[in-house]
Structure 1
Amino acid sequence: MLRALSRPAVVLMDRYLPDPFIFVLLLTIVAAAAAMLFEGAGPIAVVQMWGDGFWGLLSFSMQMLLILVTGYILASSPPVKKFLALLAGLAGSPGSAIVLVSVVSLIASWVNWGFGLVVGALFARELARQIRVDYRLLIAAAYSGFVIWHGGLAGSIPLTIATPGHFTEAQIGVIGTGETIFASFNLIIVAILFVVIPLVNWLMVPREDESVYVTAEQLGDDEREAFVPTRPAEHLENSRLLMWVVGLAGLVFLAHYFFVRGAGLNLNIVNFLFLMLGIVLHGTARNLLDALQEAVKGGAGIVIQFPFYAGIMAIMTQSGLAQSMSEWFVSISSAATLPFWTFISAGIVNLFVPSGGGQWAVQAPVMLPAAEALGADIARVAMAVAWGDAWTNLLQPFWALPMLGIAGLKAKDIMGFCLIHLVITGVIIGTLLVVL
């Protein structure tokens, strides 16, 4: 049944889902029109909001580009390539390959979302080298595991409200991760998704005549010619000592950061970790620079599209549109149903404000007073925002860009499969937020 349902979904997305750049342009127009129609903002005011906020994600854009680049550098190092190849060897059939990449992506995304995006894509590429399996579904399966990230160790909303000094501390205090990430209702949601997502991906494996395959040649030859230095400068490029001194110094810093200072993961630390490990494992600057040249090819979408999303976020927040949407959902809620409607509203807002931290800044001032007034569980409402933010990433190509860049695919190639996951995971998460 799922295979039959996925077929028209794939055709629909292939025919009508535009390139992510066109998607962000359309979202910009929709957000601007909605701000003028529903919030009474003037055209000039909307343009000013958009322009003033256009570069608001510049730092984040660079972090995302580095997630792709440093992750590719690490995963293309000889030891990691051998490990991925060994792990991929466990798959003996198309179905087992789909299940394996789903599980690996789920685990990696639960640990850290950036790590999950890169590892999932690179592992899928390695599987495609060894198993004849539909490449679109393989990458979609890798991306589907990303839906779990905001219920995991790097969830930005639960980590924010667990940090002393957060912007809503005066209202709700500090809520530890035992009430959010490690709460029984959240762990049950995570556990069920760990079963359902690989199963759904397995059931969507297309028939032989409907599958789209890639060859090792299409994926590119990762083997590099041996570099023979002939000039003094080239000897430095081929020096292992130079790379190991710098790389090991970085690893010493990380050991102190984690074990002495007791600090946790964030985007900058993940990028630093990937880069330092890549420096050590590649061994020479020449090898690392060759990997870098391959890595940056997939980053064009991030560079050009993220500023437009920053502009959309500015329109949504400064015009009051995001707040009005949240308030409407609150108006139809009770203490029991508030987590469900919060989840739905967060999913809609996420299409326009695809940033967990940014979305919490928009919705917290509305959802928290509503939770207090209705007597709802504040920690559960916060996690409902988190899950809603993660849920519609299955439809929003913003977060798929790093993975698509590595895989060499377009959003329309995978979103048909992701649409099936959007429906199934939406029912599961929305129901369990209320029932558990």
Structure 2
Amino acid sequence: MAGRLVVVGGGQAAFALVAKLRALKDERPITMVAAEASHPYQRPPLSKKYLLREMNLDRLLYRPESWYGEHAIDIRLSTSVTAIDRIGKTVSLSDGSTLEYGDLALATGSTPRKLPASVGGDLAGVFVVRDFTDADRLAEEMKPGKHALIVGGGYIGLEAAAVARSSGLDVTVIEMADRILQRVASAATSNLVRNIHTTRGVDIREGAGLVRLVGTDGRVTAAELTDGTTIPVDLVIVGIGVVANDALAREAGLEVANGIVVDCFGRTLDSHVYAMGDCAVLPWKDMRIRLESVQNAVDQAEAVAALLAGGEAPYEPKPWFWSDQYDVKLQIAGFGLGHDETVVRAGQREGSVSVWYFMGGKLIAVDALNDAKAYVTGKKLLDLGLTPDRSILDDPQADLKTLLP
């Protein structure tokens, strides 16, 4: 039997790794070290259905608590790894104990960026959402008639804006860049998503940053913006990106670059140490990328599990993402980085639309808003390495199925 596998983390990647190993009939001893008090649970609903109180924590759990014992998985909750000794192959834990490992899997995830205290980030009423306790505190504040300021116009900020607006709050979104979603989507997609929010009464201010938050008796009451205005606010939700949790790896002498650098097998420079999920920087098409998605966390973790169980296939990312905002489901296939052309195509259902990304004439990504057919077709084309016939794509009456071989 192989030596003990120690998994650092209790999120999507950590769970996917151990679940896949047991599904592959791998019987090695496994210990999961999870900083949170809860057994592993889904994160995406935290800022949506859980925040709206449409789901409780039990429904978010990947498996019941009993599953871990039934599958001989030792899980240490409310415990963190404080140091890695790669020579001795041990990890030190926050409770003062140590664990020996044969292999070590780092699934440490990422942490939302917070506003610094110098601009009011430590005031009461200022939130980030990383775990269910953050969502619980925010839910208590989401009352109709309040004014919420969303700092950041990426997907996290816009999803928060949708939940706040749906809960009856007045909402202002500020984005320092020239447009929302500038880092992750085309101008065409930004325009479509902006319209979704503004037609529902959200005030979106692009090219506007935060100077500082103003507080009274330690609680946020207003925000001074770089456009020269000051707006009253009752609560602030911060969505300005995340930082990979790579400090533990860095201190252990592993290579990091806003994430733990791994090869196509998920291995670090130490052949007995792996990393996966949001914390991992992996090779993709002659680049190094870090993919912050459920899909990548699961697929990469399962690829590492297969390798540990005796396989030898590299992990080849096929990125896809999604974002739920109001009654709109945005599905994304591919990676639009570096695109030089987009085609906007109206779907056959009212309100459905897709944006097709090209680079040098080749299809590289598709954004589909309430258009499952466009998403499925685009994803299949990307998986096959094919570029669609533009005459069919440009004809809104044409059947997208004809694009597939």
Greater strand content: 2
Using structure 2 for the length normalisation, give the TM-score: 0.22
Using structure 1 for the length normalisation, give the TM-score: 0.21
- Which structure has more relative contact order (CA 8 Å, sep 6+)? It is 1
